[in-house]
Amino acid sequence: MSHFLGKLEGSSPGICLLIYGDTGCGKTHSAITGIPKILFLSKEAKDPRLVHSMVRPDYADLIDYVEFEGFEDEAEFLNKLILQYRNGSERPYETIFHDGLTFTMATYKQALEDDRFRARELSKKDEDKPRPGLVDRARLERMDWGTLASLTARETRLLHELSKFGLMVVSTAIAGEYPKWNSTIRVAPSLTGQEFSKLVHGWFDTIGYILEPFRILPNGKVSEPKVSFVSTDEGSLGNSYMCRANPLVVRAEQKYGPLPLNLEKIAKIIRGEFKV
């Protein structure tokens, strides 16, 4: 059992933030704006250092990168990190950036497909044996979708455990469009399956959608992306996007409009350190 005091002693409140948007809009780029030092959990095939080196020449001093061989490897790493913070022996990071949920679920899905194929090969029943070709190579059974949701939820829970030590934990996802019954569009994180997707609001206390992508200006400077935490739903005929925020963030966006995707500044707004 874990016991948490009502008053934080010498620590800031933890933050669980989900940022989502289209591919190439600035999600990976935003990691370098976190509170140093930053731990980057890389789930995509691309090398994030190529992005960060364009933004900050001193990026290597601000951020560490980790890639995992699978769920067990990541779970072991995160559990060891949790023990470090719990024992108070050291505090290596202030921001953990998980890039990101969409690719995590795609990777777990492929691993489950491979496991299910091997299980069919080992089956003693001829009717369960895999058929020639690719038909059974990438096929899940109904129960496997629950496993996929459970693996993602277990990973997310470990990240949230770290946030309880006053860290800023950020996950990213690609945006997807979901048509509604009245012909409008709802934009939300693109996540495989339904079980985990339905509980996204419960996993993150702050959810933002990137409305304006980052751009490289003619003078060579980078224009920060703009993120919104307040839905633009304009009644039954308007489009909307999934979002969530505390009153401080909502007040800031109502006053200034969509906020620059600067994680350190957003953390100050969430924690009440920036007066709106």
Higher pLDDT, 246 or 56: 246
Interval 211-221 mean pLDDT: 81
Interval 194-214 mean pLDDT: 89
What are the Cα distances from residue 275, in Å, to 3, 34, 75, 248, 263?
A: 31, 20, 38, 9, 16
Which of 29-33, 119-123, 234-238, 253-257 is predicted least confidently? 234-238
For the cut 50, the answer to whether the pLDDT of residue 165 exceeds it is yes
C-beta separation of 171 from 101 below 8 A: yes
CA-to-CA distance for 121 and 131, rounded, in angstroms? 10
Residue whose tokens read 């919104």 = 228
Interval 18-40 mean pLDDT: 94
Interval 199-224 mean pLDDT: 85
For the cut 60, the answer to whether the pLDDT of residue 238 exceeds it is no
pLDDT of residue 219: 80
Instruction: Give the range with max mean pLDDT: 23-27, 38-42, 120-124, 138-142.
Output: 38-42
Cβ atoms within 10 A of the Cβ of 94, count? Answer: 18
Domains and their CATH numbers in the chain: 15-270 (3.40.50)
pLDDT band at 184 (very low <50, low <70, confident <90, very high): low
